[in-house]
Structure 1
Amino acid sequence: MLEVKETGLQSMLEKAISEAKENHTARMISMTKKVNKTNPLLFIEAGKKLSVDRTFWSSTSENFSIAGIGCAHEINAKSNRMEEAEEAWQKLRDEAIIHNPYKTSGTGLVTMGGMSFDPLMQKTSLWKNFSHLSLTIPEMLLTQSDDNCYLTTNVKVNADDQAAELAQRLNKMERMLLNPSINLPGEVGIEMKQEIDPETWKQTVTYATDYIKQNYAKKIVLARKLFVKLSDEAAVSSVLKKLIEQQPNSYVFAFERNGDCFLGASPERLVKQENDEVLSTCLAGTAPRGKTKEEDDRIAHSLLYDEKNRSEHDFVVKMIRQSMEHYCRAVNVPDKPVIYPLKNLQHLYTPVTAVLNERYSIFDIIERLHPTPALGGVPRDESLAFIREHEQLDRGWYGAPVGWMDSNRNGEFAVAIRSGLIQGDKASLFAGCGIVQDSNPDEEYKETGIKFLPMLSVLGGGNHESH
């Protein structure tokens, strides 16, 4: 990683072009500057005019967001996907020419993206635009951290590029994105909801409980899909706005690939890295919110002392602790969970902190943690084998790690739950729940119905009849 003090875009481009000629290879340059406060959602909406893919990440409780437009470079990986991705990211970082006088997380060279839940699962046409692992370095990146805004321009230059022409194009793009004379589009409504074969799904729950009773597994997480037809094409920026407003304490994300957009609001952090410090959180065990404070407190109390939910939660805590101990030192786990409230649901919550040992990276932690017992089951291999054979669903990126990382060893990945894949005026929503030996198929079906609500409400309400 070559840190440069040069601040003029054109002179940086000239330097990179001359190095590309010398080394007969393309060079990535990344240049960050402070800009006036800009609404990241208007930035995302303005990017639509360019007909390029857009990426978005927001940690609503921390007043932090990253909005990306276009793609200066993409990392794709298939077989040993973590190893391949880490190698490619390391190489890109090492060879890039970076100008970033700020040490703010999410500035400098940043990559954003995600991966599929299970790379061994047969991919269907629904997820044709999303590879098993895809990380994008956006061409233009707006980072909002507290009250400060930063713009990063990333561009890959070749030996035959013209610095003046490139600079002109990038400056024009910047002006358009930072001064959008637009409003966010209006909201859409839901015309029709279609449950996908409910009775077959309930039957699968019964198979899972039988499988568990025979001691092949302790817990299996089963997901299902809800198909939604919208009144018009959904505007990503407007859906994101509603998710941010309605889902506090969540990570709001969007990843576009060739016009299809996977987005959601996940309360579940997988791992956060700040230099050597890492933080993972266990969010397992779910109950609805109450209509009054008294009812809410009563539900929270019974969730805290409910045997099924506590044992489900303890599975996950134990697994996270063991995973962290593999790569970290000073692993710290509280004795018992607390309640983590969201708009429609409340969960049991335990944070796990640690210090990353040398030689290891966020990729190692992700590989070790995913899928957590909250999304796969226990033991991992047996539950995944059951899911592959019986779930009849291509989860795609649902339930998988999505997030970002920067060239200063900061990053954060969440588990992509409470999410959906939007394709024009259609959406496929996903929800799952943990099956144990005494699970009731009708109750589990009802629980997944509650978990669809965050996405249904931002797409036009959750009260329409299913067909």
Structure 2
Amino acid sequence: MKLQSSRTFIESISLDSDRQYLTLHIPMDEYNIDEEKIFTYFNESKGSRYWFKSKDNAYNVIGINYIESIWRDKFQPDTIAESKTSLFAKLQQEKLGEDLKSKLSLFGGTLFDDKDTTDEWNDFKMIEFHLPEWQFDLENRELFLTRNKAELKMDGLLDEVDEMLTAIENADITEKEKPVVKSKRDIFPNEWKLLVEEAVNNLNDEFKKVVLARQKLITFESKAKRLYLIRRLKDEADTYTIYYEKGKSTFVSKTPEKLFSIAGEELTTNAIAGSIQRVEDNQENTVQKDFLLNDDKNLFEHRVVRESIVSDLAPFSEGLNYKKNPLLMENKYIYHLFTPIQAMLKKDADEFKILKQIHPTPAVGGLPKNLAKDYIKEHEYGTRGLYAAPLGVIHEDKECEFAVGLRSMLISARSATLFAGCGIVKGSDPEAEFLETEVKFTPMLNVLEATTNELYGSTNGTNV
């Protein structure tokens, strides 16, 4: 048994009758397990699983079986903070090893806004976070097991964990079935271009920018296999990985964008706005990058995003640090302008109040924020749900990390709805913006192994 060294720790545990759950923090560095093996082993737990991996690998966590969730139909920072405090107070946390690094977290986030969502988003609450029975930290090779004490049997518990981890090691990860595309179409493509044109005409010195999103619908011959998606997501790098099952729905994102993270008293975030397609020819890419770094439209779009984030963070901060000129972020399919921002937080700064204040940034909403949100609610086709929404992990203290759910899709049994948007400012061209969103669909098309050229020979919104 590989967990023999943990036996002395578990034998010394004295159960606290005032706490509902026991959480065991267990080393698993001796086990050869990965994301695909975990999801294969827990294939029967569909609808109650997540995977959150940050760009820098600070987080690579998988949660299985939501045993308790905190949620609200409206995002009120104080009430959700109280719910978090109450949930962690129910936990008796015990370490079964020395030098364990990771901390138990909850996974979740908010919908983009409080607009009444269409039926496809019914599985998700306005704001919710989940405590899983099993939480795997693959970066630190550690495991959290949380059980209700009323159902807990301490005798043989480590044997159960060892058997489970060994079974995961030996999980069959043979080739998974690729989804076969039955049909596909753009949702209101021509109407979306007219919407962009109308927005450009409505922009002025007060209403400076609005982000407009559109959708693609792909249907499959049979149910989309989740294990196939995990394998494809595992192959992708240089972005966040967000895979979130709730009920019968699955939300997937390969976003490049961090909303913010908090470690200690330091908050870090990035202003990301302004983009251009990355191509295969290196010489042409040099031209593309030079254009992006010097283009007035993209630089303006980036500047308003940066200034808005700095303004939003100021009330929570003792000091802010950022560079005047943006840097270049290189992703697999696209280049972005970005500016790293650091803030030293005030002692009483609260992660939920910051989340409420900073979301949505002008990179996904517009400027001014409330005016842009209202415009999106009134004019955009469909509802965004988790698209462009904050998703991430929170801890018992205020440490956390949130990403923005871009480059994403919502999967139901036999279909996937893909989302992409772009920033509209004075001078925006509807055809150019349409092509920009086409590029932004590429990461999810790649996950499905369905390239733009293969699936979208035309963009007239008809099934082919």
Q: Name the TM-score, length of structure 2 as normaliser.
A: 0.90
Letter in 2 for 1:76: W
What code does the residue aligned with 2:246 have? R
Query: Structure 1, residues 280-309: CA drift from partner, whole Å, max 9, x if none?
Result: 011110100132211111100100000010
Q: Which amino acid aligns with 1:224?
A: R
Amino acid at match of 1:390: H
| Structure 2 counterpart of 1:125, from 105, 119, 123 | 119
- Cα distance in 1 for partners of 2:446, 2:302 equals 27
Aligned equivalent of 1:57: 52
**Other-structure match for 2:248:** 259
Aligned 1:318-357 pairs, distance under 5 A: 318-357=307-346
Cα distance in 2 for partners of 1:452, 1:363 equals 30
Using structure 1 for the length normalisation, give the TM-score.
0.89
Corresponding position: 1:303 with 2:295: no
In the alignment, the residues of structure 2 paired with residue 256 and residue 427 of structure 1 have an alpha-carbon distance, to the nearest angstrom, of 14
Quote the residue 1:410 is aligned against: 399
Change (3 A) 1:461 1:273: same
Within-5 A mapping of 1:117-266: 117-119=112-114, 121-145=115-139, 148-158=140-150, 161=151, 163-164=153-154, 167=157, 171=161, 174-175=164-165, 178-183=168-173, 185-213=176-204, 215=205, 217-246=207-236, 248-266=237-255
Structure 1 window deviating more from structure 2 (428-437 vs 40-49): it is 40-49
Change (3 A) 1:301 1:47: same
CA RMSD, 1 decimal: 2.5
Shift of residue 207, structure 1, vs aligned partner: 1.9
- Offset of residue 103 of structure 1: 7.1
Query: Are 2:31 and 1:28 equivalent residues in the alignment?
Result: no
Classify 1:39/1:273 alpha carbon distance in 2 versus 1 (closer, same or farther; 3 Å). Answer: same
Alpha-carbon displacement from aligned partner over 1:183-229 (angstroms, at most 9, x marks no partner) = 1523324332111111111121122112114x451101111111011
What's the CA shift string for 1:163-198, capped at 9, x where partnerless? 358948964883476334221523324332111111
User: 1:10–1:220: structure 2 CA closer, same or farther, 3 Å change rule?
Assistant: farther
Alignment check: 8 A CA contact 2:35 2:230 kept:
no
Higher mean C-alpha deviation, range 385-394 or range 176-185: 176-185
Match of 2:360 among 348, 371, 374: 371
Q: Distance in 2 between matches of 1:244 and 1:277?
A: 30
Match of 2:313, SS state, is: helix
Measure the CA separation in 1 of the matches of 2:182 and 2:211. 30
Residue 46 of structure 2 contacts residue 245 of structure 2 at CA under 8 Å; is this kept in 1?
no
Is 2:15 aligned against 1:15?
yes
SS at match of 1:291: coil
1:272 aligned partner, one-letter code: S
Letter in 2 for 1:136: H
In the alignment, the residues of structure 1 paired with residue 56 and residue 152 of structure 2 have an alpha-carbon distance, to the nearest angstrom, of 43
Q: Give the whole-Å Cα distance in 2 for the aligned partners of 1:104 and 1:337.
A: 38
Task: Give identity over the alignment, percent.
Answer: 26
SS of the residue corresponding to residue 138 of structure 2 reads: strand
Specify the code of the residue in structure 2 equivalent to 1:109. L
Cα distance in 2 for partners of 1:166, 1:369 equals 47
Describe the SS at the equivalent of 2:141. strand
Tell me how far 1:128 sits from its aligned partner. 0.7
